[in-house]
Structure 1
Amino acid sequence: MHVLLVTSGSTGDVAPFTGLGVRLRQAGHAVTVATHERFAGLIRACGLGFRHLPLDPGDMHEACARRLSGRADGPLGTLTIARQGAAYTADLAHGILQAVRQGADVVVASGQAALPAKAVADGLGVPSTGALLQPVAPTGDFAPMALGRRSAGRTGNRLISRALWRAFHHQSASTVRWVRAELGLPPLSRTARRRLAANWPVWYGFSPHVVSRPADWPSQHRLAGYWWPEETSAWRPDARLADFLAAGPPPVFIGFGSMPSPRATGERLSAVCTEALRKAGVRGVVQAGWSGLGVESTDARDDGQDAIQDDVRDDILTVGEVSHQWLFPRTAAVVHHGGCGTTAAGLRAGVPAVPVPVFYDQPFWSARLRSLGVAPGVLPMADLTADRLAALITRAVREPARRTRAAALRTALAAEDGAAPILEAVEALAR
C-alpha cells in the first residue's frame, strides 16, 4: 500500500510526519511525504519519498510578522493569518492535486493542507484521514485559538469555536469547487459538503496527558498521541556544542523556531535574550532559527589598541540547526515560542519551559504548559523584556516543582505509542 502524507507549514508542522512515515514504512507500506522544497533533504534522509508542494512557509511567516503590530495574541493574529492564508491555500491546492495524481492508496493530511487534500482525495476517489497537530474542533472545554489564552467561558468558547469552524469550512468551499472543476466533476451542494466534512475521520497528534479529549467533540475526532520526529543517523552535535555542554552546568535553551518577531529585529531580540540570561545567572544555548538570533561566545573588536574581548563570554553559545531530541534533555529549561513541535519536544525531554508566544496556536500551547505546571508563566513576545524573561527563567530553573512535573509528564509520554492508531486507521481505510 502507498501512503501519501500531506503537510504544510514550518519544521514543527512537518517533522512529526517523518516519524509517522518511518513507522508506516516499517509496517511494510510505501510512504511519500508531500511538503515544501525546504524539507526535501529532511524527508529523504529518513528514507521516505518526497513530492514537492509550492510556496515557502518562511515567506508566509515573514509576511504575517510584518503585518502584525502590537499584541498578536488573539483575534488580530488569527485574522492576519486567515487573510494571508486564503491565497496560500489556493496555491497549495494546485500542488496537492499534482502530488495525489502521481499515485496514492491512502492520503493522510495535516494542517493547512488538510482540507485541500481532502477535497482532492474525495474527487479522485482516494480514501483519506485528517492528522492534525492542534485541537481545532469546536468545544466548550477551552478557548479557541482565535482567542489566544483568553477564555470566553464554556458557552462562549463553544459558540465562538463553532462559528470559526463553519467559517473555516466555508473558506475551503472555493477550493473544493476548483478541485472538482479541474477533475471534471459537478459541484457539491452545501449539504453534501457538510455531510462529507462531518464524516471525515480526524486524528490529533498530541497526548491526552497534555490536552484531554473534550466530551463534546464529534465521535470521529480522536486523540492518537504524539508522533515523534525521526532522528536521522546523519545528525551529530558539532564539537563546539558538545564542548560547551561539557564545560559547565546545563544551560538554558532559547529559540523561537520558525517565528519571526512582529516587533523586534533579530539584533534587538538577541540583546534582550542575552541580557536575560545574564540577569538570571545561567548559561545559554541560543538557536538562530527564523528570528535571526545570534550571540557570539567571543567577540574581539579592534579599537586601535589590543583586541578587547566583549562582555559576551563563554557562557552563551549560538547554534544553527540542532536536534531538540538530543539537546533538550541536556538543558535546565527551554525558552521557546510555544509552537506545537517545540512544545512537544520540551515535554518529551522532561524539562521546564518558558513560553514566549506570538500568534495562532502558540498562546494555546503556552497556556497549556502553565496549567500543566511545567512553565512558571507565559510571556507574550509583545511584552518581552530582559527583566521579565530573566524572572521567569529563574523560576523555571530554581523551582523544583517545575522539573518534577516535567519529569512526570516525560514518563507518561514515553509509555504512549501515538503512531499505532494511525497505522491501524490507514490499513482500515485501505481495506
Structure 2
Amino acid sequence: MTRLVVIVAPGSRGDVQPCIALGRGLHGDRVRVLAAERFRAWVTGHGLEFAPLSADPGEILGSDGGREWTDGGRTPATFLRGLRGALAPVLERLLADVRKGATGADLVLAPTLGFLGAHLGAALGVPDVELHYQPSVPTRKFAHPLLPWAAKAGPCGRRLSFRAVDAVAWQVLRPEVDRWRGAELGLPAAGWRGPRRSETPVLCGFSGAVVPRPKDWPARVHVTGYWFLETPAGWRPDPRLRDFLASGPPPVYVGFGSMRPSEAERTFAAVRTALRRVGLRGLLATDAGADDDDLLMVQDVPHAWLFPRTAAVVHHGGAGTTAAALRAGAPSLICPVFADQPYWGDRVARLGAGPRPLPLRELTADALTARLLELSGNLLFRREAQYVAARLREEDGVARACEVLREVG
C-alpha cells in the first residue's frame, strides 16, 4: 500500500532543498512537502505534492523582527527568544498550516523546531522521524552547535549542553504549541517536559566525513550523508555567466544566502575592494551593484554546478552551502551570522578546508583582504577540501536515508 509521507520544511531554500532530494528518493510513496508558498513550483516541478506554510523565512529575515533576531545576542536563550519574536506574527497560522498539510499522513518527517513531528505523530497515530541538519543528539564527544563554549565543560557538560538547548527551545515555544495541541490536535498540553522522544528515529542529513558519528549516539540515530539535489539535466547557465567563467581564471564566489547584511551595500563594497586588492575575480550573489570586467552579479545559480568552477567560496555557513562547497572540493571562508553557522565555520577550519571563520558583522575590506590572501595563498586548503570531496562522492545520503525510512511504520 502506498504511504503518504509528509515532510515539514519551515525554513529557507537551504532547508527545503534537502527535503526535496529526500522526497524524490522515496520511490513508491506519495510525498508531500510543507514549505513557504514561494517554493511551490520548485517542489511540484520535482513531482512532489505541496502544501503551503504561512511563514516565509525570506520575509521573516527581512523584517524588523528578523533583523533584530539575526543581529541580536549570541546565546541560545537570546537566539531562541528572537526566533519566537520573529515568528510571533505568523506562528498561529503556521501551526494551523502544518496540521492541515499533514492531513492523511502515514509518516511525518520534521525538524526539531517545536518538536512538530512528535505532536503530529501523536495526533494522527502515525510514526514520526526527526530530521537533523546539524548534530543535535546529546553526546559527550562535543558540545551543542549553539553552545560552543560548553566544549570546555568536560564530557558531562558537553552532553548537558544538548539538554539545555532542547529545554530552552521547548519553553520558548511551549505556550503557542500547547495551545495548538489542544485546539488543533485534540491532545493534552505537553507540559514543562515536552513530548517524549527517546524512541524517535533520527535522520542526520550530514556526512560522517564532516561530523564523525559519536560512539555514544544510540542506534536510532542514523548519519546518512548529505541529501544533495542534483542540478536538473536541462539547466543551462545564463550566457553572461558562461562567458564570464570562460574569460579568465576561476573566480571567487561570495554570497550569504538568506542572511541579509544590515548594510548590504557597505558589505558588498568591502567585498569588491578586497577582491581587487588581492587580484581575484568575483561572482557576487547580490543585486547591489553593477557588473564589471572582473566582477559579475549572479542570482539563483545551482551551487552543485557553480562551485566546482570557482577558486573558492565565501559564504555564511549554512549547512547546505557548506556541504555544496565541500562536495565541490572548493576551499571556503565562512562568514557566520548566527545559529549553527559558526559551528560549520569551525568544522571547515578544523578539516583544513579553509581558514578560521570571519563573522559577517566583522567583515571589512581590510579583514577580508587578509583572509582572501590566506585563502588563495595556502594550497593546503584546496587539497584538504578535495580530500573531503572525494569522501562525499562515495556516499549516497538519500539512498541511505530512504533505506531507514522503509523500515519505519
TM-score by length of 1: 0.87
Residues 198, 191 of structure 1: alpha-carbon distance in 2 compared, 3 angstrom cutoff:
farther
Alignment correspondent of 2:329? 350
Does structure 2 retain, via aligned residues, the 8 Å contact 1:100–1:121? no
* 1:22-421 superposed matches below 5 A: 22-24=24-26, 27-62=27-62, 63=64, 65-67=66-68, 73-75=74-76, 78-84=79-85, 87=88, 89-101=91-103, 103-110=104-111, 112=113, 115-147=115-147, 151-154=151-154, 155-174=156-175, 177-182=178-183, 185-187=186-188, 193-194=194-195, 196-233=196-233, 235-261=235-261, 264-288=262-286, 294-297=288-291, 313-421=292-400
How far apart, in 2, do the equivalents of 1:91 and 1:197 lie? 25
- Residues 44-79 of structure 1 show CA distances to partners (whole Å, capped at 9, x for unaligned) of 221211111112112322345531587754447624
- Per the alignment, in what secondary structure is the counterpart of residue 129 of structure 2? strand
Task: Report if aligned partners of 1:252, 1:285 keep a CA contact under 8 Å in 2.
Answer: yes
Pairwise CA distance, 1:243: 0.2
Give, in angstroms, the shift of residue 388 of structure 1: 1.4
Identity of aligned residues (%): 39
CA distance in 1, matches of 2:41, 2:111: 20
Amino acid at match of 2:272: T
- Spell out, residue by residue over 1:80-128, the C-alpha distance to the aligned partner (whole angstroms, 9 max, x if none): 5343266355442211100011x2221111253x612321221111221
Aligned to 1:10: 12
Q: Partner amino acid for 1:181? A: G
1:129-165 alpha-carbon deviations (Å, 9 max, x no partner):
1112121223333332333577433343333332222
Tell me: CA distance 1:277–1:192, structure 2 relative to 1, closer, same or farther (3 Å).
closer
Q: Which has the larger radius of gyration?
A: 1
Greater CA drift, 402-411 or 185-194: 185-194
Distance 2:87 2:288 in 1: 33
Which range moved further: 348-357 or 76-85? 76-85
Asked if the contact 2:304–2:324 (Cα under 8 Å) also holds between the matched residues in 1, the reply is yes
Cα distance in structure 2, aligned partners of 1:108 and 1:296? 42
Structure 2 Cα separation of the partners of residues 366 and 69 of structure 1: 17
Aligned equivalents of 1:316 and 1:97: distance in 2?
46
Q: Is the 8 A contact 1:89 1:116 kept in 2?
A: no
Shift of 1:191: 9.4
The CA distance in 2 between the partners of 1:90 and 1:161, in whole Å, is 27
What amino acid does structure 2 have at the position aligned with 1:274?
R
Which residue number corresponds to residue 307 of structure 1? none
Determine the C-alpha separation between the residues in 2 that align with 1:140 and 1:380.
27
1:77/1:403 Cα in 2 relative to 1: closer, same or farther (>3 Å)? farther
Q: Matched residue of 2:146: which SS?
A: helix
Distance 2:152 2:87 in 1: 27
Q: Is the 8 A contact 2:227 2:397 kept in 1?
A: yes
1:280 and 1:230 map into 2 onto residues whose CA distance is 33
Task: Encode CA deviations 1:170-192: one digit per residue, 9 max, x unaligned.
Answer: 44544553344235745166599
Q: Which runs of 5+ in 1 are unaligned?
A: 298-312
**How far apart in 2 are the matches of 1:352 and 1:420?**
27
After superposition, the C-alpha distances for 1:20-66 in whole angstroms (9 at most, x for unaligned) are 11111xx2222221111011121122121111111211232234553
Q: Distance in 2 between matches of 1:80 and 1:38?
A: 26
CA RMSD after TM alignment: 2.4
Go from structure 1 to structure 2 and tell me whether the alpha carbon gap of 1:162 and 1:191 turns closer, same or farther (over 3 Å shift): closer
CA distance in 2, matches of 1:5, 1:68: 26
Shift of 1:201: 1.2
**Residues 4 and 32 in structure 1, CA contact (< 8 A), matched pair in contact too:** yes
RCO higher in 1 or 2 (8 Å CA, sep ≥ 6)?
1
What CA distance in whole angstroms lies between the structure 2 residues aligned with 1:347 and 1:123?
Answer: 40
How many residues are paired up?
Answer: 404
How many Å apart are 1:193 and its aligned residue? 4.9
| Superposed CA offset, 1:324-345 (max 9, x none) | 0000000000000001111011
Partner AA of 2:110 in structure 1: A
Tell me whether 377-386 or 159-168 shows the greater mean CA deviation: 159-168
